[in-house]
Structure 1
Amino acid sequence: MTTELWCDRCGEPAGAAHPGCAAARQLEPPRFCTRCRRRMKVQVLPVGWSALCVEHGEMRG
């Protein structure tokens, strides 16, 4: 079970309203880990993206 505590775009608490983040999420990969708030290493490729958190591993989209 994954609990999202932090916004994946700005790193602020996920419970707050983030209309700008929600709009940007349609076009951009996540920048922060939703579980630990660490800044992730993000690589954008022509066929998608990958984001790496040193604590929680890799996500792909």
Structure 2
Amino acid sequence: MITVPGPLERPLRYGVYTGLELELQAPDAIPRAAQLGLEPPRFCGQCGRRMVVQVRPDGWDARCSRHGVVDSVELGRR
């Protein structure tokens, strides 16, 4: 059985805030709000596609059409 990695599982191939391949992403490309942890990821780290993001009062969830859903609550448990 083939396991498909989630949108934010390591190793990431694409920047989750820019959608660019990590080798091509400039160090200053990440927005300041994201560096401070105030912005949810907007792009899938596996395929670079734009994710559907829902921001809630208690966190956020993001869905990639190819790699599934990730929830900020789940990230806190790791």
Q: Same fold (TM over 0.5)?
A: yes
Is 1:29 the counterpart of 2:27? The answer is no
Q: Which has the larger radius of gyration?
A: 2
Letter aligned with residue 19 of structure 1:
D
Higher strand content, 1 or 2: 1
- With the length of structure 2 as denominator, give the TM-score of the two structures: 0.67
Aligned residues, how many? 61
Structure 2, unaligned runs of 5 or more: 1-8, 73-78
Task: State the TM-score, normalizing by the size of structure 1.
Answer: 0.84
Task: Indicate the percent of aligned positions where both proteins have the same amino acid.
Answer: 39
Deviation, 1:2, is 3.1
Kept in 1: contact 2:18–2:29 (CA 8 A): no
Choose 21-30 or 36-45, whichever is displaced more: 21-30
Q: Which has the higher helix share?
A: 2
Provide structure 1 residue ranges, at least 5 long, that are not aligned to the other structure.
Answer: none
RMSD of Structure 2 on Structure 1 (CA): 1.7
Pick the aligned partner of 1:59 from 70, 74, 78: 70
